[in-house]
Amino acid sequence: MITLTVEAILAVLLVLVLMQFFKKKPTAPAEPQVDLSNLKATDARAGDVISVSGAGDNFSDLDFTADRSTWVQAGARQWTELSGMYHERRVSMRASTNSDGDVEVALHTDARKLSIGDFGMAEPDLNDLDQRQNTEDWFEFEGKNWMYRLSREAQATSQGQTTGFYYWEFQEKDGPGLLAIRKAEGEPFVVTLYSIVPESNVTVYRGAR
């Protein structure tokens, strides 16, 4: 009697093991497919070729292969930055999507090494702007008025490495200019001058990664 009971238990266990073995394993959901023939600026990644109509020298197209990719977050704002070589100088493109779903694209092609002193400002002036957080504040540079847009603690991630810095941003009044200032602890200020371009002017070609 005991032998029959043990055999019955073993048979049940065998059935359970076989059921688990043949049970269909759940498959991971497929990643959404990107239309490679219609890539957006926000789809661009390292290895891609980026072409911007009329943004190059003498109004030619600006074409470069992105060899660096950085993801940046400043408060609620997020954007990607891609850079590469164009005519022996480094250029970059940043792309972001706002809360309305609109894409903002800006290019940095200016080879000048600007400093905050070029704007007639010093670190205390930027600290004051940060404390006020007033979008009516502005300064003049090269005959243009630059309106305060935001300042936040920010993080940049590239190749798995994350660095922190403080970030200020200014928008050219009634113009396409965008001025970005970064300050990492113990490092000098880094100034980058961008120009906003229509997203429709940007073509992205998928490259090898």
Which residues neighbour 51 within 8 Å (Cβ) at sequence distance 6 or greater? Answer: 61, 62, 63, 202, 203, 204, 205
Kindly list the domain boundaries of the chain, sorted by start residue.
36-205
Q: Quick: pLDDT tens for 117-166.
A: 999 999 999 999 999 999 999 999 999 999 999 999 999 999 899 999 99
Q: Quick: pLDDT tens for 84-97.
A: 999 999 999 999 99
Q: Is-contact 180 105, C-beta < 8 A? A: no
Q: What is the DSSP string of 3-50?
A: HHHHHHHHHHHHHHHHHHHHSPPPPPPPPPPP-GGG--GGG--TT-EE
Query: CA-CA distance, 63 to 208, in Å (whole number)?
Result: 16
| Whole-model pTM over 0.85 | no
Query: CA-CA distance, 119 to 105, in Å (whole number)?
Result: 24
Bridge-based pairing state of the strands 177-183 and 190-197: antiparallel
Q: Quick: pLDDT tens for 16-60.
A: 544 655 554 444 344 456 677 789 999 999 999 999 999 999 999
For 70, 84, 141, the CA distances from 196, given in Å and listed in that order, are 18, 18, 17
Band of pLDDT at residue 12, cut at 50, 70 and 90: very low
